[in-house]
A and B are shown apart, each in its own frame.
Chain A
Amino acid sequence: MAIDSELLVVGGGLAGLTTAVTAAREGVDVRLVSYKQSTLRNASGLVDVLGYTPDGEGPLTDPFAAIPELPDDHPYRTVGVDGVRSAMDVFDEVTDYRGGHTDTNALLPTHGGTVKPTARYPPGAAAGVASDDRDVLLVGLQSMTDFDAPHVAAHLEAAGVPFDVSGVTIQFPGDLQADAKVTRYAKLLETDPATRDGFVERIEANRSGQQRIGLPAVLGDDDHDRVRTHLESELGAAVFEVPSGPPSLPGLRLEDALFSALDSAGGSFETGNPVVDYEGDDRIDHVLVEKSGTEVPYSADQYVLATGGLVGKGIDSDREGVYEPIFDCHVDHAEDRYEWFDGDVFGDHPFARYGVDTDDRLRVLDADGDPQFDNLRAAGGVLGGYDYAAEKSGSGVSIATGYHAATAATEEL
């Protein structure tokens, strides 16, 4: 007997979670299955909508105004500006993210020393916005190579930020190993008052009146708001985290927030088992989920594929070609694998745009341009037609297409 639901979402990243949350909030019986850790652990936790056009124009002040000018096959054109706005409304309702007070992008400092345009940012990053003219002290930790505060400060200065910025490196109080994971710092700051006090003392000793203090993104895990507000009150300054690379606590916190929103909305989810196959012709009857060596059928009326792109392996490749591994959806790509990329590291890489194509209801299309199945939609990184890294559009496309896929699937029920 198959495990049955109205909507089955395959994939637990930003797109899959948005799909499931949107549907669950509409009262749909939704189930989400995901396999490995989602790529949110790699993500900065900033939620970009559109920072640059596909031609590289930008940073854009208003991402929404630029959407109608995008190429026809861009996922944002499928969803439409109104759809993107509605999707961001849902995101704003289920998270505590900032930035929804305006259509205008914010510029946030990165651990690479640049600023980048983003539409939403977590409260922990809010005080870092680069259009705020208050002076900044960046504080790095001796044993943490991923965020070098003096280097980031010098780079931000070269980027022309409208405030004075300096950087200092301190030793973290306590006895952590040189290669301790970010979660160890977070845990100590959350649970150990002596560590917090020592931390504040060392920051204060290096501060000369700056009203904003930027730190690596290690300020607590489950209770991060309290850690940050505590530091703010002790220091009498605004405190912010500078998002960095994996493992990224802001990315993981966003994942937690969305899972908990899904839970509250009555959706169910299970993680750790891959979808390996399906049965069906014009419609998918059920998919097979591999659990401890056996294949368990999961059936639903509607399906949403949100397994991610090349990074998350929702799109995979071998020497012969690029493919979608579960439903063998059509992925348009050059035959010669030397045409999959550009010779320049930041060139116009075709691989970045590889993914499945859809109709205006996000149903996956086959090579002839017809829906592959009546009841399969796609959302997020598995979609083709956009280069999220160059455009800074990854999170926005995942949220917008997740929302749109959920809405379209719900209408079919």
Chain B
Amino acid sequence: MAATPHVLVIGGGSTGVGIARDLAMREFDVTLLEQGNLTHGTTGRMHGLLHSGGRYAVADQASATECIEENRVLRDIASHCVEMTGGLFVKRPEDDESYFQDKLSGCEECGIPAEVVSGREARQMEPHLATDIDKAITVPDGAVDPFRLVVANAASAQEHGARVETHSKVRDLLVEDGEVVGVEVEHDSGPGLRVHGVEGGREEIRADYVVNATGAWAGRIGDMAGVDIEVRPSKGVMTIMNVRQVDTVINRCRPKGDADIIVPHETTAILGTTDEEVADPEDYPEEQWEVDMMIDTLKELVPMLEEARTIRSFWGVRPLYEPPDVGSEDPTDITRDFFLLDHEERDGLPGMTSIVGGKFTTYRMMGEQIADHVCNQFGIDRACRTADVPLPGSEDFSVLRDYMDEFGLRSPIGRRSVERLGSRADEVLQTAGPNPTVCECEGVTRAEVQDAIAQSGSDLNAVRIRTRASMGNCQGGFCSHRLASELHGEYEEPIARRAWDELLQERWKGQRHALWGQQLSQAALNYALHATTQNRDHDPADGESLDFSAFDSGTDDRTTGAAGTDVAADGGHADGY
């Protein structure tokens, strides 16, 4: 074994990057592999709630306690990813009073600051709440940007020497003498940054220890070494509204149920969710009734949702796990706790541990426990520092200066940029040339896009999750070609074209669940811009070559200017004005 053990972490969601950061900070040699973009799996498909723990305060107090602890940690180390919106558990007249009281005492027992407010007081905080809301409990829920948080963790891991490979799918586990010794991985476009058109290839990566943090996909990795990991994936729908109808997280105060939360997230509000077990984390039905139920149920809390504009819907798959002997029938009964499965103890297969279950809010704590476990394997005693050292972007609060003047940005755009970049704002926005806005809906400037391209190669979906470009109301209608143009220069035109096509398809996919009213109108406009104005549906660069001579070559005034002006061929002046 090398002096510095090499640990391979599979999975680029919140859990995987949390583990990678922790191990890298404890001076392990770390490689992280992710089959798609960072957040590709469940992390990129959540409602963005930073739990106060209130949701679990009655049924699962251990989880609730962990949540409030980690809620406080993330406010510290990831301030540029977190918006402390506060949360309300609201009670409608038909909701059970005793459950309301249980929620309140549960919060107290778990150390979650909670207070009762009247319906009127709740409406003073959130004027669009239904007029018949009885009362509510305030809790310190918040909103967190999962993309920014994961990218910051990966960046921190890299700063501590980790190798991070995205678009790299594990094809096999290497098992020698009954021990896991590494993986065979297939890179989509070679190792390093993803670039469209670059030949991919397989690589054998040997490691002293492997951590399987692939969540809902954990069973697939287990299968490669013949061990059973029975994750029970459960899907949930989330519907994105075009504006924030509320600025506080709104929870329905009742035991459990679908469609009971609204999370204000950046410029949008996200409605969630459902809980339904699925067989395959990549292939499950996405159904109309689920979207309809979000709106029809949550309008009982916020009536204006009935007529509001939704911009897209997406589904996420929870990587739920329970020990085989529990046997819950209903996925809502499966614990949200996480499990560390040491395959040496469990299956007689040394060299690998899987982590399954768990919640986004406690990703750091899970990372800490896994890293402790890995330390134990090597008899290494080094303390965890991830709760104390801020993530890149959250190091320095002096960023709250007037960036508008400093970077010549219009005020709302400057504010949005600095919120996203945190303490990296200086480094990213300090550019020589003009810094125009590329994505108007989300206020993303060229400098931010270029910064993201430097991190993610020719992958515009990776740029999107870093910057929010193309994630606003128009869903890429106005900015997709601009983003492709930002790639060009660094990358050749055919690469930019492939990345552009991929972005258009990805943006279309999620909108399909929001295609009525305003958003259908927007989709029709986008279609017109991309097909009518840009002719991208019949791009001659993609098809057979055209016979240009068969088309109109203009009228006879071409030897002068197009308008027939009399001009000297040497560029001399005719009549100026």
By a beta-carbon cutoff of 8 Å, the part of chain A in contact with chain B is 42-44, 48, 51-52, 56, 58-59, 61, 98-99, 101-102, 104-107, 110-117, 123, 126-127, 129-132, 134, 142-146, 148, 150-151, 154-155, 157-162, 171, 177-179, 204, 225-226, 228-230, 232-240, 243-246, 309-311, 313, 316-319, 336-338, 340-341, 343-346, 349, 351-352, 388-390, 392, 394
Q: Closest 7 interchain pairs by CB? A: A112-B534, A127-B562, A232-B561, A148-B485, A236-B571, A233-B574, A116-B535
22 A–B contacts from the bound complex (CB under 8 Å): A43-B532, A44-B533, A59-B551, A114-B540, A131-B554, A145-B437, A148-B482, A155-B541, A232-B561, A232-B565, A233-B567, A234-B573, A236-B571, A237-B561, A238-B562, A310-B521, A319-B516, A336-B288, A344-B508, A351-B523, A389-B527, A389-B532
A27–B520 CA distance with the chains assembled, in angstroms: 40
Docked-complex contact A179 and B521, CB < 8 angstroms: no
Which of A132, A236, A318, A389 touches B528 (beta carbons < 8 Å)? Answer: A389
The answer to whether residues A351 and B558 also contact, given A150-B489, A311-B525, A338-B512 and a CB cut-off of 8 A, is no
The answer, yes or no, to whether B576 is at the interface (CB within 8 Å) is yes
Which residues in B have their C-beta under 8 angstroms from that of A319? 292, 295, 516-517
- Distance in angstroms between the alpha carbons of A58 and B535 in the assembled complex: 12
The answer, yes or no, to whether B524 is at the interface (CB within 8 Å) is yes
Residue B538 CB within 8 A of the other chain:
yes
In the bound assembly, the distance between CA atoms of A73 and B489 in angstroms comes to: 46
Which of the candidate stretches B5-13, B55-63, B490-498 sits at the interface with the other chain? B490-498
Q: Using Cβ atoms and an 8 Å threshold, which residues of chain A touch B504?
A: 345
How many whole Å from A294's CB to the nearest CB in chain B?
24
CB distance from A111 to the nearest CB of B (A): 7
Q: Known contacts being A145-B437, A319-B516, A338-B288, is A394 close to B532, with CB within 8 Å? A: yes
Stretch at the interface among B73-81, B105-113, B149-157, B428-436: B428-436
Interface size on B, as a range, is: 35 or more
- Apart from A313-B521, A343-B512, list 19 A-B contacts with CB within 8 A: A104-B551, A112-B530, A112-B535, A112-B539, A123-B563, A126-B563, A127-B554, A130-B551, A131-B548, A151-B496, A159-B541, A162-B548, A229-B563, A234-B571, A234-B573, A236-B570, A316-B517, A340-B515, A341-B512
On whether the beta carbons of A134 and B558 are closer than 8 Å, the reply is: yes
The answer, yes or no, to whether B505 is at the interface (CB within 8 Å) is yes
Docked Cα-Cα span, A310 to B519, in Å, equals 10
Q: A101-B555, A127-B554 known; A317 and B517 CB under 8 Å?
A: yes
CB distance from A163 to the nearest CB of B (A): 9
CA distance A158 to B541 in the complex (A): 5
Q: Are B528 and A42 in contact (CB under 8 A)?
A: yes
Docked-complex contact A131 and B549, CB < 8 angstroms: yes
Closest B residue by C-beta to A56 = B538
Residue B572 at the chain A interface, CB threshold 8 Å: yes
A353 to B: closest C-beta gap in Å: 11
List chain B residues, Cβ under 8 A from A229: 561, 563, 565
Selected contact of B408 from candidates A178, A243, A310, CB within 8 Å: A178
Contacts of B531 in A (CB 8 A): 346, 389-390
- 8 Å CB contact of A351 from B488, B524, B546, B561: B524
B interface residues with partner A (beta carbon < 8 Å) = 288, 292, 295, 408-410, 413, 433-438, 445-446, 478-479, 481-482, 484-486, 488-489, 492-494, 496-497, 504-505, 507-509, 512, 515-517, 520-521, 523-525, 527-541, 545-546, 548-555, 558, 560-563, 565-577
Pair B515/A351 contact, Cβ less than 8 Å: yes
CA distance A112 to B538 in the complex (A): 12
A328 to B187, CA, bound (A): 56
Question: Cβ of B539 and Cβ of A159 under 8 Å apart?
Answer: yes
List, in ascending order, chain A residues with CB within 8 A of B509's CB: 343
CA A279 to CA B417, docked complex, whole Å: 53
Q: Which of B435, B482, B505 has the most CB of A within 10 A?
A: B482
B534 touches A148 (CB 8 A): no
Contact status B446-A311, CB under 8 Å: no
Q: A155-B497, A158-B494 are in contact. Are A117 and B539 (CB under 8 A)?
A: no
Instruction: Check if B532 sits within 8 Å of A145, measured CB to CB.
Output: no
Contact A160 B436, CB 8 Å, known A145-B446, A338-B288: no
Question: Is B482's CB under 8 angstroms from A107's CB?
Answer: no
- B410:A177 contact, CB within 8 angstroms: yes
Q: Is the CB of A132 within 8 A of B554?
A: yes
Contact residues in A for B576 (Cβ distance below 8 Å): 230, 233-234
Q: Is the CB of B524 within 8 A of A311?
A: yes
Q: Which residues does chain B contribute within 8 Å of A388, judged by CB atoms?
A: 528, 532
